[in-house]
Chains A and B, each alone.
Chain A
Amino acid sequence: MTDYDVIVVGAGPSGSISAKTCAEKGLSVLLIEKRQEIGVPVRCAEGVSKKGLERFVKPDEKWIASEIERAEIISPSSHRVVLSAEKAGNEVGYVLERKVFDRYLAMLASRAGSNVLTKTSAVYIKRENGIVRVGIRSMGEEEELTAKIVIGADGVESRVAKWVGIDTTLKLNEIESCVQYLMTNIDFDPSTTYFWIGKKYAPGGYIWLFPKGKDSANVGIGVMPALAERDAKWYLDRFLKENFPEGEIVEVVVGGVPVKGAIDTAVSDNVMLVGDAARHTDPITGGGIVNGMIAGYLAGLTAYEAVESGDFSERFLRRYDERWKAEFGESLVRNKKLQEKMLKLEDSVLDRLIESVKGIPIEEMSVKRLAYEIFKKHPRLFWDLREFII
């Protein structure tokens, strides 16, 4: 007998959906979170596609800050192009209030029957005789618990992965180094998200503005350490001085986003990794909430089947790898390749690209139409990017 069927480490979106899924299937589950407040500090720009979100939860105004209808892309020389949300590849839709959202998801896990502990870290994992011993430090007290399965939902800094020997270390071209301010006293349209692209603004990444209601917005930056010469904060501050000199900062958010593409495996004996811990974020957008929830659901399902059949071996758990790869593995691989190509484009090329499409009416703007315009005006570039646009 073990203390729990499943221990989930980390109560972000992927951990909470993992715990909820396991509990709904009747497993005994413990969800632990090292922070004393779930969801705080936030490490996110909080944008999410409507479709992706609604697959798991019914939207609730308590944790939706804004609804987004369009995205505006701004080139290094300030050429602008507007895309309607559904055609922008739908990484936009809602801007969440993650402090409230993350807590809400943890509550759903608890309502489904999981135990939840905050200010509780996993400090080691040992696998013995087919089960796992998890060392936890809960409000300063150390204890050892046993489980059949551990789901590592411990985010970008995942140590569960390290403990079980899954190498997820990020190289300097596999992470975006990010800073974001919640700002007021700035002008923006509350139903538009804005993206500034090009080396000039953010080497290896981009700058974003995501509205949170009418009065404030998340303004942030991601830069790739392999390409940036300074720290992310330096680039963001420089941009703000030029573009929003009157803005006031009411919150600072810091974070790293994995942009690794797909890892070979997210499983080991008794252990599955989900979400940022498994580097499930999209390499182009940096979005990880939806993929994390999908992975959490699939890991929960797999944990249930493993407990049913009494087999917690890596071989059995491989079906979780197959499942997440079938859902979004290919798009991680493809978008990593696309990112590598995009990073080679000079700012002048981005300018010409955006300029060449800026006259098209928003109703007619789609990825196909963009591709057509690129083809017409920049045949060589089109050739280079063909596998991504056709």
Chain B
Amino acid sequence: MMRVSSLALLVLLGACSSAAKPRFDLTNVTGHLPNLKFQLTADNGKTMTAKDFRGKVVMMYFGYTHCPDVCPLTMTRMHVVMQQLGKLADGIRFLFVSVDPARDTVPVLHQYVTAFDKHDVGLTGTPDQIRALAKRYRAAFDRGKVQKDGGYEVNHSAAIYIFDSKGHARVLATPATSNKDLEHDLRLLLKGA
């Protein structure tokens, strides 16, 4: 008898907690990563901080503009998801943080992000500012060998960090994430989950 009721209680608790907690499709990082916090130069030339994005669901990605394959692939996928969301996408901002501030000047960054989606914001800063932000989210990056023509590649974290409208880190997307799962979780966050 005792056993049955504790089982029932467990089931009840399970039901309760699943009703209270949003059921994300992506990796839930709530409570495991710090809140959104930065001060960087945006692609409009202005200094922007995390506070400027309060009230928006924020996706943050570390990349560089001389990356013609993986970064555009990620940004194009985000663009497709934004289009799926229609008007709701206005509640979202995608922050493209440059891990190559030497080449990613404000004009280069501006041209780059505007080629993808109107909800994209490019961010750059001093090498120290970028390093500090990447470190805060344990996002690794390192510059490869410089080639004969002076060019180089930058190996960088593939993750997309997603924050709710209060700036709390909530879920983590990777290149393997499906657009469907991403859209699902963005909708939950837009509803205030």
Are A and B bound to each other?
A: no
A residues in contact (CB < 8 Å) with B: none
